[in-house]
Structure 1
Amino acid sequence: MANLSLTKKKSIAEEAYVELEKLYGKQEMTLNYSNAWELLVGGILGAQTTDEQVNRVTAVLFKKYPNIEDFANSSFENMMQEINSIGLYRNKAKALIGSAQKILKDFDGKIPTERKALMSLPGVGPKVASLVRGDYYGIPAIVVDTHCGRISQLLGLSNSQNPTIIEKDLMKILPEETWINWGHYLVLHGRKYCKARCRNCLACPLNDCCHYANKKSIQKKITEAKEQQLEDGCF
């Protein structure tokens, strides 16, 4: 694991962010929503599920259940039936109903902005709380999903496997104004270059600053690939 100084980590993060911004520019949330509640629903449904799958479900769900009260009054069986095309639908149905009921009871029907309050809702952990705070309320927050966590580790910015600790590590390194985009950028980068099962270090625009890509063993493989005139590969 990387054991880099804070100064070195900040240097890596700064260089990486500049490259990511060039690559991906201004990003918008890929979940479809029109208010804070709908984004919260999308976040809860998104666990181990793609945004595309969530959007297909919510396109129907939000028409049948247009407000929080409708979710709160739904039966467990009906909610399960509405979302049974996605993974973990039983737990998610329970979380949606429970969150709606708690918001109506404890927060006067309004989606809270505080992290602790958001995480008191069923089905809401650090990732979903940061999602709502950052992408809806514009409060600086880092969404640490599998892509963000994995690539932040490879860059050398965190040694932890725990998303909460990774988030805290990144908050010490990244300027606040970059927090929201950092999560979005690494999702895109993870899909295009740095996949879990295939790290395409040869083509990756971050390989100059990436701690993993600059390991001697990886550099040797990159050199060999270039000598063979390969354009991509898994490292």
Structure 2
Amino acid sequence: MTTFNSLGLSNPILKSLDDMGFEETTPIQEQTIPLGLQGKDVIGQAQTGTGKTAAFGIPMLEKIDKQVKSVQGLIVAPTRELAIQVAEEMNRLGKVKGVRALPIYGGSNMERQIRSLKTNQIVVATPGRLLDHIRRKTIKLQNVHTAVLDEADEMLNMGFIDDIRDILKALPEERQTLLFSATMPKEIRDIATTLMNNPEEVKVKSKEMTVENIEQ
């Protein structure tokens, strides 16, 4: 098994991982983190529960410049629940380094979000609310160096595919893009070929399949 210690991570990130009780990488982390640290674009085919937040979150956190008080990392997630969950994990991973992630989603106070955007270096957002901020010019994206699309197939199913394209087009061209999806429909492939830069593919089979309509 690969340990986090062997991946050449910085001490603050290793300390956060230690505090969280993480020692060994999951397969998606083992394959994605080195590519992410090299600045490569990545397409990860992995389901929820494979540890993908740390897989994309660790390389993003390593590149955040704490001195720059603007958004440098952007994670787009399909639902409010996932945005909150990913932001919480990013805050745990970034705690020792002192980097904060802000969840942004519809139905919460816009003014408070606008105030928080001035100090957070990572934003985890749902597509609709993020586009609202982009159109109102209340989020500045010129310093974003890493963008992540999490559960891209879910966003496609929810009708967000055009929003995703608009969001990616609003970002600097010189950026790293990581896309994670459990399945790879044609529309997701199209995004990978048109809006990503020679992405490396990482595929992970989940050990156990959970059937979604089983209640207990």
TM-score (norm 1): 0.25
Judging by fraction of residues, say which structure has more helix: 1
TM-score (norm 2): 0.26
Structure scoring higher RCO (CA < 8 A, sep ≥ 6) equals 2
Instruction: Select the structure of larger CA radius of gyration.
Output: 1
